[in-house]
Amino acid sequence: MVTKEATVKSATGLHARPATLLVKKASSFKSDISIENNGKKANIKSLIGVLSLGVTKDSVVKVIASGDDEALAAEEIVKLIESIEE
């Protein structure tokens, strides 16, 4: 299991469009990947799950990956979260 932290830079947080990008990216990995914010955890491959966390700008989220490609998955998801700046 790999755990990494990412800071959300998007002014609108992880709303519909950024969350959709995350779900698409996460779905390309075999590993189970979840995201945690303020003690709430959701499967990052679930759009409803990600949106239900209500992640806002400057939130620090935890990305937890477990599986065959966990290291790459966690790394790529963190990069994506930190690169979304709409």
In the numeric block, the tokens 């830079």 are attached to 9
For residue 43, how far is the Cα from the chain centroid?
Answer: 9
Residue 40 backbone phi and psi in degrees, to 5: -100, 145
Catalytic annotation, residues: 15
